[in-house]
Structure 1
Amino acid sequence: MRNLFYIFVGGGLGSVLRFLISNYTQKLWNINSFPMGTFVVNIVGCFLIGVLTSYFLRVDNYLKFLLITGFCGGFTTFSTFSAENYSLWESGNYMVLLSYILLSIIVGFVAVYVGLQVSKN
């Protein structure tokens, strides 16, 4: 039951922070129809999951539920990513769609890798 509470709290905090960062980023960097806010949140989330996963592979405790399952789960926005891709496809913005998908996957992968490497030291 305690793990569910940690997931609940972490998810709420992650969701609120996602909303704040995504909105601020989108206002700061409004680049055509590219969903920069979601992109930034997903890349930061990938990095955090890399760092946290590396740490919790060595130290297994209840905080992984708060930070990985809860916080990162609430913070990252793959469902929003998918909905935005659908919108880009529907509006005919194929180059932005392709750029967004490729950049999110490639840069997200690199961010997870870097996160894992940074926390190994």
Structure 2
Amino acid sequence: MTFLLICICGGVGAVARFVLNTSIQRWWKNAFPLSTFIINVIATFCAGLAASALAHQAVGEPTYLLFVTGFLGGFSTFSTAINEMVSLVRGHKYAVASLYLLATVVVPLICVALGWAVGAMAH
């Protein structure tokens, strides 16, 4: 049953990613892949919150798995970020690709830490 629920949550996360991605891409026309970046920032912050909630026993492991493995697994999109970096390099947009690489690695680490800190304050 857990397997099926994780699959459903992953599907919901993928739909949420599609809606947010499409919404942002309608108005963002610059080379920097803002929609993927925003999605991954939200996902990593939420992952930090969830990890803190699990560590402080505010949620159980089944809930954590449904949210992090299921929903956030379907919502976040690291593979798309890597593909976008390769596309930027192929398009000779080296500065944007470098900025995106740095932002994609550093900012999500900060977001996880912030999510953990916010979650820890709530407990």
Residue of structure 2 in register with 1:16 after alignment = 15
Unaligned runs of 5+ in 1: none
Residue of structure 1 in register with 2:111 after alignment = 111
Tell me, yes or no, if the aligned pair for 2:9 and 2:74 is still in contact at 8 Å.
yes
Q: What code does the residue aligned with 1:41 have?
A: I
Matched, 1:55 2:53: yes
Q: What code does the residue aligned with 2:105 have?
A: I
Structure 1 residues 56-109: Cα deviation after superposition (integer angstroms, max 9, x where no partner): 123233111210100010000011111111111111100000011111211111
Residue of structure 1 in register with 2:86 after alignment = 86
Tell me, yes or no, if the aligned pair for 1:45 and 1:76 is still in contact at 8 Å.
yes
The range that moved more, 80-89 or 20-29, is 20-29
- TM-score in terms of structure 1 length: 0.93
What SS does structure 2 have at the residue aligned with 1:62? Answer: helix
**Which ranges of 4 or more aligned residues in structure 1 deviate by more than 4 Å?**
none
Structure 1 residues 17-74: Cα deviation after superposition (integer angstroms, max 9, x where no partner): 01111111122333x2111110100000010100011111232331112101000100
- TM-score in terms of structure 2 length: 0.91
The range that moved more, 55-64 or 92-101, is 55-64
State, as a whole percentage, how many aligned pairs show the same letter. 34
Unaligned runs of 5+ in 2: none
Tell me, yes or no, if the aligned pair for 1:25 and 1:40 is still in contact at 8 Å.
no
Tell me, yes or no, if the aligned pair for 1:6 and 1:65 is still in contact at 8 Å.
no
